[in-house]
Structure 1
Amino acid sequence: MAGPIEKTSDLRIASVEALTPPSRLIEEIPITAQSVATVVESRGVIQDILTGRDRRLLGVVGPCSIHDPELGLEYARHFAELRKEVEQEIYLVMRVYFEKPRTKLGWRGLILDPHLNGSYDIQTGLRLARKLLVDITSLGIPTGSEMLDPIVPQYIDDLLSWGAIGARTTESQTHREMASGLSMPIGFKNGTDGNIETAVNAMASSCKPHRFIGIDIHGNTCVLATRGNELSHLILRGGNQGPNYYREQVERSGQLLRQAGLLDRVMVDCSHANSGKDHTRQRLVLEDILRQRLSGVHEITGFMLESNIHEGRQAIPENLDQLKHGVSITDACISLDETRQLLLSARDLLASGSTGF
């Protein structure tokens, strides 16, 4: 008689927890009429900027990551006023990042670990993220976020006006397929090694239709068929060899994009390797790309700044009551005060058409 069949699957799975399906979370935290208006209008504006119908620069500005929804909303209220001050020259989208890719280990973002203690209460994280996006977009502020986990967009993408595929995932086939079906314009960052062709290839792939395994809004596993996302653009963020926002690199990027039959629009991330991971140098990067724009480098279409209520960064303390108010727990950021000064100067420079500072 044959003995029992030895188990061969799930040998390293410690537990399985059913996740609230997207449709139920959307019913619990519905999109508001103001949010719908914000998302629809802002996606249209971003499309016009990427295709050259709107002459303004696109600015994606905000915290490196959101670790406290109340602080995120506090930042958003200040951001709303700043948007109005610069809107004639710069169209601002608030950076609202909930997922953090890690090279090794570390805090992985509000959705994965909302309590900042390794408990991974993802059910709560998804609710907090969706609620914050509803609150921010209800203020009339468009939001942008990195698309990391391929399941998460079903929970929040109706509230996003712009998305990014990060440097660590631009080469991933899964993320290229996901981007081909996302409802908003998508920026692809060059790889961590600084390779621009990787992002160009990703854009060429994502603009085509794909079929892949995913979930629908009810949480059912299914085959998703996409139409392709033609509204993609390149994000230069530097690499292991240093910055890549200089004019010759921007123009070379434009050439590669045109050769691939893609929109030759380039956004520059003023942080990360472009600033040498020194948040105080974001100012220098922004000044350089503004000079390029004003001197006729038409490929420059936008920029990213990491900004928080207060400057710098902090480690997550063992006692969370000791967290400093409005200070990043991931990459160091410039303060809201400096952000305002930088963006007002950029507005005035763009309005004057002068290349001097």
Structure 2
Amino acid sequence: MPRVTDLHVVTNTALPAPQEMVREIPRTEVHAEFVAKARGEIENILSGNDERLLVIVGPCSIHDLKAGREYAERLATLAHEVRERMLLVMRVYFEKPRTSLGWKGLIMDPHLDGTNDIPGGLRMARTFLRDVLDCGVATATEMLDPITPQYIADLTCWSAIGARTVESQTHRQMASGLSMPVGFKNATSGAVLPAINAIKAATQPQTFLGISEDGRASVVNTTGNAASHLILRGGEDGPNFDAASVSSALADLEKHKLPPVVMIDASHANCGKDCTRMPDSFRQIVRQRVTGTRGIIGAMLESNLVAGAQTLGTSREGLVYGQSITDQCMDWETTQELLWEAAGCLPCSTIRQTVFA
């Protein structure tokens, strides 16, 4: 009989069940209370009951846990200083979608050497999320693989669906069941409609194939995620953070009977992936918010201890401490000055504690 299965599969290794890893690296009651509070604050900003600006800021990707922890400790101090005008949430990105080839993130390749120790990567990711929460900083990540949330979602305060996966039915369904607010980026082309369609799908009940807490294939039924929102990140034709693009996006959301609120990514195509242009993009976003565009509820920044980016090569030896190995990031000093500057422009918020149903 001819062989018809696994013709191109070398190995198929079972992962620890999600519940096993949660027991191994547990969340404490303090973690759970902090995550719930942070999610509630983010939802209040999305619904307009908290007038602060939501800023998702941090490394493009986490590859060095020591440097990441140092960044979180610095961000904790800054977040406290600007807390009346901005809610700072740290980018803790462990999965990186690749256009062709490249390092796929800490979960997939935690040792940066191509050994693809995914169980080890999941443990590192879960442990690092706890470390960030212990600093008193809310966490944000992109959910790329639909299995990953079962391992890390309980320690995540906000998540994103990226430009490369926003048109994926699998990711729209997954987002409908996530327990935290989810931002959907416009497509890599710059088109906003795919993200709007994704939001419409994610806010509705869905049924799909997934994985249970004990690691078995399962049928997942969801309620839909009302805290789904649009992120403008630019596209192949250039930036889309200008007033005309923002106005058009807000009008499109209203046309589709969705809340007219947007987050704007000051990095990626909105700065041409040039970290030296990111501050000006952010300033223009804040200026629009201050001058009356209330639909802008948040912004995103890619920031690390050291500016720029470096090439990974074949191992982590020789890497510059605190510098990105994926997209370019602003350095810490620029980030701090930029957020202090923005805090000086934004009004002090009056917070009304009402969240999404």
Q: Partner residue of 2:297?
A: 301
C-alpha distance in 1 between matches for 2:348 and 2:149: 40
C-alpha distance in 2 between matches for 1:319 and 1:20: 27
Q: Is 1:93 aligned to residue 52 of structure 2?
A: no
Match of 2:316 among 299, 320, 328: 320
User: 1:74: how far off?
Assistant: 1.1
Please say if residues 305 and 323 of structure 2, whose CA atoms lie closer than 8 Å, have aligned partners that are also in contact: yes
C-alpha distance in 2 between matches for 1:216 and 1:193: 35
C-alpha distance in 1 between matches for 2:8 and 2:215: 24
Q: Is 1:286 aligned to residue 287 of structure 2?
A: no
User: 1:34: how far off?
Assistant: 2.1
Aligned length: 349
Greater mean alpha carbon deviation, residues 265-274 or residues 314-323: 314-323
Q: Is 1:19 aligned to residue 15 of structure 2?
A: yes
Greater mean alpha carbon deviation, residues 288-297 or residues 302-311: 288-297
User: 1:194: how far off?
Assistant: 0.1
Q: Partner residue of 1:64?
A: 60
Q: Partner residue of 1:228?
A: 224
Q: Partner residue of 1:249?
A: 245
Please say if residues 314 and 329 of structure 1, whose CA atoms lie closer than 8 Å, have aligned partners that are also in contact: yes
Q: Is 1:351 aligned to residue 341 of structure 2?
A: no
Please say if residues 235 and 268 of structure 1, whose CA atoms lie closer than 8 Å, have aligned partners that are also in contact: yes
CA-atom RMSD in angstroms: 1.1
Structure 2 counterpart SS, 1:303: strand
User: 1:319: how far off?
Assistant: 4.9
Q: Partner residue of 1:202?
A: 198
Please say if residues 32 and 138 of structure 1, whose CA atoms lie closer than 8 Å, have aligned partners that are also in contact: no
Q: Partner residue of 2:44?
A: 48
User: 1:94: how far off?
Assistant: 0.4
Q: Is 1:36 aligned to residue 32 of structure 2?
A: yes
Please say if residues 113 and 315 of structure 2, whose CA atoms lie closer than 8 Å, have aligned partners that are also in contact: no
Structure 2 counterpart SS, 1:279: coil
Q: Partner residue of 1:170?
A: 166
Please say if residues 112 and 315 of structure 2, whose CA atoms lie closer than 8 Å, have aligned partners that are also in contact: no
How many percent of aligned residue pairs carry the same amino acid? Answer: 50
Structure 2 counterpart SS, 1:91: strand
Match of 1:79 among 72, 75, 78: 75
How high is the TM-score relative to the length of structure 1?
Answer: 0.96
Which amino acid is 1:331 matched to? D
Which amino acid is 1:33 matched to? E
1:72-131 per-residue CA deviation (whole Å, 9 max, x = no partner) reads 111100110010111110100000000000000000000000011111000100000000
C-alpha distance in 2 between matches for 1:72 and 1:325: 10
1:156-182 per-residue CA deviation (whole Å, 9 max, x = no partner) reads 000011000000000000000000000
Please say if residues 34 and 137 of structure 1, whose CA atoms lie closer than 8 Å, have aligned partners that are also in contact: no
1:10-42 per-residue CA deviation (whole Å, 9 max, x = no partner) reads 111111111111000000000022211210100
Unpaired runs of 5+ residues, structure 2, are 350-357
Higher relative contact order (CA 8 A, sep 6+): 2
Please say if residues 82 and 343 of structure 2, whose CA atoms lie closer than 8 Å, have aligned partners that are also in contact: yes
Which amino acid is 1:308 matched to? N
How high is the TM-score relative to the length of structure 2?
Answer: 0.96
C-alpha distance in 2 between matches for 1:191 and 1:336: 29
- Aligned structure 1 segments of 4 or more residues deviating by more than 4 angstroms: none
Please say if residues 317 and 323 of structure 1, whose CA atoms lie closer than 8 Å, have aligned partners that are also in contact: no
Q: Partner residue of 2:215?
A: 219
C-alpha distance in 1 between matches for 2:137 and 2:272: 30
Higher gyration radius (CA): 1
C-alpha distance in 2 between matches for 1:319 and 1:35: 33
C-alpha distance in 1 between matches for 2:15 and 2:97: 21
Please say if residues 303 and 329 of structure 2, whose CA atoms lie closer than 8 Å, have aligned partners that are also in contact: yes
1:182-218 per-residue CA deviation (whole Å, 9 max, x = no partner) reads 0000000000000001100100011001100110111
C-alpha distance in 2 between matches for 1:181 and 1:85: 34
Please say if residues 112 and 314 of structure 2, whose CA atoms lie closer than 8 Å, have aligned partners that are also in contact: no
Which amino acid is 1:229 matched to? N
Please say if residues 205 and 224 of structure 2, whose CA atoms lie closer than 8 Å, have aligned partners that are also in contact: yes
Structure 2 counterpart SS, 1:187: strand
